[in-house]
Amino acid sequence: MGKKSKTIDTERIRKAVKEILLAVGEDVGREGIKGTPERVARMYTELLGGMREDPEEHVRSIFTENYDEIVLLRDIPFYSICEHHLMPFIGSAHVAYLPIGSVLGVSKLARIVDCFARRLQTQERLTYQIADFIMGRLKPRGVAVVLEASHSCMTIRGIKKPGSAMVTSALRGIFRRDPKSRNEVLSLMHSGKK
């Protein structure tokens, strides 16, 4: 497989959006629509920027630390684009790990979430990618990732169920094997919530 380009073909997106507007019967010369193809091309460049980003960039801040209890960053806001309908899903990520002598700079957990979220995705794959990357790169005793998101492809079209949230989880290492550790990390993720 060839190396990914570092740029998105905005001209091609612009032309495709213009064709969509024509296909739905819109006047592409109308004042409010004239700049839409360019705006949509810029939007996709921003929303899908993670497709051209290497998550390795965010694990350069690993610190040696004699800490062996759970590290948890919860309520990390994220957005992604569902690959099935090209509509957004928006939610919160909760990411925890049990270190063995190494900890990651706290903002890096949020950056890793964003890196994988800003791609064409499914929530299930996104959850696994975050967990597997942290497990593989940091080599902790365990990783737990829980994502909660609202999918606009379900809330404003199709079945039209606003207010529903999809929850996915990925447990690795001790959090998968040991019920006590699993219960502890999941309890911490949800403490203080209604």
Is-contact 141 99, C-beta < 8 A?
yes
Residue 27: partners with Cβ closer than 8 Å, 6 or more residues away: 33
Region(s) of the chain under CATH 3.30.1130.10? 55-190
Write down the pTM of the prediction: 0.92
Question: CA 129 to CA 137: how far, in whole Å?
Answer: 12
Region(s) of the chain under CATH 1.10.286.10? 10-47
What does each C-alpha distance from 68 to 64, 74, 97, 100 come to in angstroms? 11, 19, 10, 6
> What pLDDT, on a 0 to 100 scale, did the predictor assign at position 62?
87
Highest mean pLDDT among 60-69, 74-83, 153-162: 74-83
Region 29-57 average pLDDT: 95
Is-contact 35 18, C-beta < 8 A?
no
The candidate with the shortest Cα–Cα distance to 125, out of 80, 61, 161, is 80
- Where does 10-47 sit in CATH, by number? 1.10.286.10
Active site residues: 82-85, 123, 151, 153
Q: Is the confidence at residue 6, as pLDDT, over 80?
A: no
pLDDT digits (tens, 9 = 90+) for 116-159: 999 999 999 999 999 999 999 999 999 999 999 999 999 999 88
- Where does 55-190 sit in CATH, by number? 3.30.1130.10
